[in-house]
Amino acid sequence: MSRLESRRTSLWRGVKKNAKLYMKSKIGVIGIVVIAFFLFMAVFAPYLTANAPVTGYDVGAPYSIPAWATIFPGYANVPVTYSPIASSLSGPSSFSGWTTAGQDVKTSFYNGSLLVNSSIVPDQKIMSDYLAGHPDNPYLPGGQVFFSISEEFQYNQKAPSSFVLSAAFEPLKMSNVSDIYINYMITAPNGNYSFGSLKNSVIGSVIDLTNTSLRQQATINVSSVDLLGGGIPSFEGVRNPTALLFADKGTYTFTVQIQAVPVANATSISMLVSGVNVHVVGGAYGLLGTDNYGRDVWSQLTWGSRVSLEIGIISGVGAVLLGTLAGLVAGYVGGTWDEILGRITDFFLVIPFLPLLIVLLLVLGQNPALYKQIYTWVIVIFVVLSWPFIGRLIRSQVLSVKERPYVEASRAVGGGTGHILRRHILPNVMGLVFSQIALNVSGFILLEAALDYLAVSVHPISTMTWGLMLSNALPDAVSNSAQSYVWWWFLPPGICIAAVSLAFVLVGFALDSIFNPRLRAR
Amino acid sequence: MGLRRYVIRRIIYSFILLLLVISFNFVLFQMLPFYVSCPGRTYNQCAGFLYYPPLPTKNPDQLKEVQAERAEILKIYGFNNTIPMRWLLYLKAMLTFNFGYNAGQALGGTVMGTILQRLPYTVVLLGTSTIASFIIGIALGVVAASKRGRVLDVSSLAILLFVNALPVFFLGAMLELIQRQSLGTFYVPIGTAILLKSGVGYVVGYLQAFFLPFLTLTLAGIGGIFLTERAVMIDTVAEDYILMARAKGLSERSVLYKHAFRNAVLPITTAFALSIGFILSGAIITETVFGWPGLGQAIFTAIGNYDFPLEQAIFYLITLMVLICVFASDILYGVLDPRVVTA
């Protein structure tokens, strides 16, 4: 066995032995599990949530409670924000619940969308139909309905505060057709409401539906706001049309209707339809509700874990590595180096840490070029301000190890400095190093949250952090207003910060008790 | 080395350290945007933190007047000197406690006036909470170490570790919420009490406003002290002389509180001295959460307002205070534990 190989084996054996010892420590295992959970959250944040944490406004109503909270009696009547229909129409499976109607309609799937071909032979009544208006809604213009697709959905809660209907359309081919209307209709259990006619000229700036050469896709949204003063008879003079529309529980039908005015014989339309969505906005939303701007709290929490862990772990490891290096040199070489480390520590000890940190970040924040890498600078400042204290700790450990008999013996048989440092000093310091990393990571996570709370700019404007969430939520949480006690918003980030920092402390404790036999339970 | 030489050496060393730190403060605040941004920018952007009215460009007389006023302001803050000269003047100002005037809009008047106005609040809040957390932390630590592994030890360890892991501002807000939910009363900001100036209402209002920040700071402070004291006590109880004392047949009470405790409380003195020294830096976060008008809040506001004279003065006073306290604790330590001086 070569020398290198034997060293490797002994190292591996050491790791295995210590891992076994570690697994015996209950609190250590709990810490590792918690950290693993949040690491998973941070890495897979994009897959855990679809909403943007900062810019995703109004995914639910502002101050929505979590959807699951509706099981509690106090929140029992709060309608949940959700999409009863959310279908891409990209294939037969997503079109299975739908029904088609119209004259001579053929459906197929093309390019991830539903392709509808429809043709009609217009009769002489076209013009009179047009003047008479829409068959279902006299306030809409008339014309021939080429086809419609519809699906039923169950709605079993109190009326929502608002709703949005949307779908995307892309005309492929049209012949002998002038104006096109797209109508959305919702058939309530008690009657028929139709609305949302969009003539091609209305959306002309986005898409010219009759110009087949353009082939642009247009998403058409109709929201509850459009019902106010929209000239729809059933809602005339109604102050809250959404409440009227969703007054009953039961089976509703959502219909998308394509209506056109034929100008000659042998007319046909060929159109792609995709992304059909019915979205009702209630007072409850998702896993953790929403904040004051209707942004998804769960998405903020998952994305926020990245910042906390990134800054905490990198600066914790960096500060401890630098401190270990300084401590080894100061402790082992001693003399001038020891003196220098001591003086630097004294220097940093008498300066107030948090104010200095804030001033330094302020200086950096003024420079746009530096501000772009603000994360890096936060980490650098954390490391620079804290390594001397870690160095001091490592130094005292090195000093005590240095005087042990086996080190003296090793030196007596001709062991060089490198050999002694590597084989005798370092293994005895590693325990302290690991536990210091864990404890410092915990401290830095809390520090970063505190900076966020004080609204000191430690992050680009486009990111969300746990500290920032708390900072946003606390005024609402402790205020004396009707919106107070927003527990779903301010508890999760606080608990997450506490859990992560506690987990790192526990890991530090467990490591400490492995490498520091005096602390082992006797 | 005798105690006297030790003291003299410490004094000289502390003074050099003080000079170094306040020079560092000078350089640090030279880096603040005011200094950096001035050359290339317009007048309004440049002097915005010292002088607020916009520069009139249409009326030449008025322009001249404002520019003269600006020159006057720059002179007051000493910007008409070269940097080495400014440094010397700054050193003189610091060492003679002549701090000059506030800059910025939120805090008017002299720097010394601002500090003296804020000082009582911070000393009351930080002083009481520091002492309370040290007393409770040390007592709990000693008791927990003597009952290692029992319910009291494990539960206080778990609770204090958890409290320590909470962000201070979150802890403060939670306490505020708990107070409201359980007692039905609301947290009273200090402002309402201050308006009363005197009388029973003032005292009651002051105490009501004082209670929550005090509780927050004390709870947040106990954890670290408890953990240190517990570890030191566990180490001390394992020493030979404790075994000896037990072998002599002394009661467990006497062993723990007469022999072990006295030695186990020594290492805490340095931490206590540092805490007392840093009282002047206030508690930025807690004071901000509860709107307590102490020095911590003043530091934070001053940073936002680029009020560098105030910043420099407070940083200087903190450093001075910490040095004095560390010095005092070193001397005390030397007297209590003669090994330190002779080593």
Q: ipTM score here?
A: 0.84
The answer, yes or no, to whether residue A30 has pLDDT greater than 80, is yes
The pLDDT assigned to A2 comes to 60
Pairing relationship of beta strands A80-87 and A284-285 according to DSSP bridges: parallel
CA distance A17 to A310: 29
What A237-246 contacts at long range (C-beta under 8 Å, 24+ apart), as own/partner pairs, is A242/A159, A242/A160, A242/A161, A242/A162, A242/A163, A243/A159, A245/A159, A245/A163, A245/A186, A245/A188, A245/A193, A246/A155, A246/A159, A246/A160, A246/A163, A246/A188, A246/A280
Same domain, residue pair B156 and B260 = yes
Secondary structure percentages of chain A, helix, strand, coil, to 5: 50, 20, 30
Distance from CA of B55 to the nearest CA of A (A): 23
Tell whether B160 and B240 lie within a shared domain.
yes
Local confidence band at A518 (pLDDT 50, 70, 90 cut-offs): low
Q: Give mean pLDDT, residues B16-22.
A: 91
Percent of residues, chain A, with pLDDT higher than 90: 15
Higher pLDDT, A11 or B325: B325
- The more confidently predicted of residues A211 and A233 is A233
At residue A497, the pLDDT reads 93
CB atoms A356 and B323 under 8 Å:
no
Please check the confidence at residue A230 and state whether its pLDDT lies above 70: no
- Which range has the top average pLDDT, A453-467, A508-522, B66-80, B150-164? B150-164
DSSP notation for A380-437: HHHHHHHHHHHHHHHHHHHHHHHTSHHHHHHHHTT--HHHHIIIIIHHHHHHHHHHHH
Q: Do B165 and A521 touch (CB under 8 A)?
A: no
Separation CA A106–CA A114 (nearest Å) = 10
Please say whether the beta carbons of A63 and A488 come within 8 A.
Answer: no
In a domain, residue B108? The reply is no
**Chain B CB contacts of A352 below 8 Å:** 278, 281, 299, 315, 318
Task: Based on the fold, state whether residues B63 and B190 are members of the same structural domain.
Answer: no
H helix intervals, A225-352:
241-245, 297-328, 336-349
Indicate the pLDDT class of residue B45, thresholds 50, 70 and 90.
very low
Asked if residue B178 is part of any domain, the answer here is: yes
pTM of the prediction?
A: 0.81
The pLDDT value recorded for residue A188 is 79
User: Comparing C-alpha atoms, which of A83, A55, A48 is closest to residue A285?
Assistant: A83
Residues of B in contact with A359 (CB under 8 A): 28-29, 32, 303, 311
* Cα–Cα distance, A391 to A338 (Å, whole number): 10
Give the pLDDT score at B282.
83
What's the mean pLDDT in A448-471?
80
Least confident of A407-421, A456-470, B240-254: A456-470
* A319: Cα within 13 Å, side-chain hemisphere: 31
With an 8 Å Cβ cutoff, are B278 and A446 in contact? no
The confidence band for B52, taking pLDDT boundaries of 50, 70 and 90, is: very low
Specify whether B179 is located in the same domain as B255: yes
Question: Is residue B225 one of the residues assigned to a domain?
Answer: yes
- In tens, the pLDDT along A160-195 reads 888 888 888 887 777 777 667 777 878 778 765 655
Q: Name the more confident of B3 and A458.
A: B3
Whether residue B206 is predicted with pLDDT greater than 70 in this model: the reply is yes
Say whether A454 and B31 touch across the interface (CB within 8 A): no
Q: Domain containing B304 — which CATH number?
A: 1.10.3720.10
Domain co-membership, B129 together with B218: yes
In a domain, B338, yes or no: yes
From the candidates A308, A350, A385, which should be mutated to test the interface with B, based on the most B CB atoms within 10 A? A350
Residue with tokens 């010219």: A208
Q: Are B32 and B83 members of one domain?
A: yes
- Closest alpha carbon to B169 in B293, B295, B276, B284: B284
For residues B163 and B303, state if they share a domain: yes
Higher local confidence (pLDDT), A516 or A286: A286
Lowest mean pLDDT among A267-276, B5-14, B76-85, B267-276: B76-85
- Would you mind telling me the total number of residues written for chain A in this entry? 522
With contacts defined as CB-CB under 8 Å, which chain A residues touch B274? 349
pLDDT, chain A, mean: 80
pLDDT-derived band of residue A458, with 50, 70 and 90 as boundaries?
A: low
Please report the pLDDT score of residue A204 as a whole number: 29
> Three-class SS string for B156-212?
HHHHHHHHHHCCHHHHHHHHHHHHHHHHCCCCCCHHHHHHHCCCHHHHHHHHHHHHH
Residue B263, token pair as written in the block: 């030695």
Between B184 and B258, the more confident residue is B258
What's the pLDDT score for residue B76? 65
The verdict on A454 touching B (C-beta cutoff 8 Å) is yes
Taking phi over 0 as left and psi of -120 to 50 as alpha, with beta for the rest, B150 belongs to beta
Give pLDDT, residue B39.
Answer: 35
| SS3 call for A72 | coil
Q: Which two tokens stand for residue B120?
A: 């009582």
A498 touches chain B (CB under 8 A): yes
Q: Which pLDDT score is estimated for A289? A: 87
Among A483-487, A506-510, B311-315, the least confident range: A483-487
Nearest C-alpha neighbor of A501 from the set B242, B20, B164: B164
Domain end, chosen from B69, B95, B121, is at B95
Helix (H), strand (E) at residue A222 = strand A218-223
pLDDT at A121 over 60: yes
CB A421 within 8 A of CB A328: yes
Per-residue pLDDT at A5:
67
Nearest CB to B17 within list A347, A442, A498:
A347
Residue B142 lies in a domain: yes
Pick from B341, B231, B326: nearest CA to B269: B326
> pLDDT class for A446, splitting at 50, 70, 90?
very high
Minimal Cβ distance to B168: which of A363, A450, A502: A450
Is residue B191 located within the same domain as residue B253? yes
In a domain, B103, yes or no: no
Chain B CB within 8 Å of residue A356 CB: yes
Residue type for position B80? N
Cβ distance of A446 and B167 shorter than 8 Å = yes
Is residue B118, in this structure, part of any structural domain at all? yes
Q: Which of A122-126, A250-254, A474-478 has the lowest mean pLDDT?
A: A122-126
Quick check: B284 and A354 CB within 8 A?
yes
The pLDDT-based confidence of B159 (bands split at 50, 70, 90) is very high
Among B165, B176, B288, whose Cβ lies nearest the Cβ of A505? B165
Q: Evaluate the CA torsion angle B30, B31, B36, B37 in order and state its sign.
A: negative
Share of chain B above pLDDT 90, in %: 20
B79 and B131 share one domain: no
For B236, name the nearest residue in chain A, comparing CA atoms only.
A518
Domain hosting B130: range is: 113-342
Task: Check whether residue B188 and residue B263 sit in a common domain.
Answer: yes
Can you give the pLDDT at residue A317? Answer: 95
Which of A355, A446, A501 lies closest to B303 in CB terms?
A355
**pLDDT higher than 70, residue A390:** yes
Task: Give CA–CA dist A143/B292, Å, rounded.
Answer: 71
Whether residue B104 is contained in a domain is answered as no
Q: Over 50: is that where the pLDDT of A355 sits? A: yes
Of all residues in chain A, the percent with pLDDT exceeding 70 is 80
Final residue belonging to a domain, choices B50, B67, B95: B95
List CB contacts (< 8 A) between A480 and chain B.
Answer: 186
Query: A339 touching B, CB under 8 A?
Result: no
Which pLDDT score, from 0 to 100, does residue A438 have? Answer: 87
CB contact under 8 A, B322 and A453: no
Please indicate, yes or no, whether residues B180 and B65 belong to a single structural domain of this protein.
Answer: no
Size of interface A-B (CB pairs under 8 A): 124
Nearest to A450 among B28, B164, B167 (CB): B167
Identity of the residue in A346, A355, A356 whose CB atom sits nearest the CB atom of B17: A346
User: Is B104's pLDDT higher than 60?
Assistant: no
On chain A, the residues whose CB falls within 8 A of the CB of B295 are none
Which of A347, A354, A502 lies at the smallest CB-CB distance from B161? A502
| B304 three-class SS | helix
pLDDT at B50 over 50: no
Mutation site for B-interface testing, chosen from A356, A359, A466 by largest number of B Cβ within 10 Å: A359
Count up the domains in chain B and report the number.
2
> B165 and A366 in contact by Cβ < 8 A?
no
* Mean pLDDT, rounded, for B134-150: 90
Q: Do B303 and A467 touch (CB under 8 A)?
A: no
A311 or A206, greater pLDDT: A311
Same domain for B196 and B65: no
**Residues facing A219 on adjacent strands:** A168
pLDDT digits 0-9 by tens, A84-107:
888 888 888 888 888 888 878 888
| pLDDT single digits (tens) B21-39 | 989 988 887 766 554 333 3
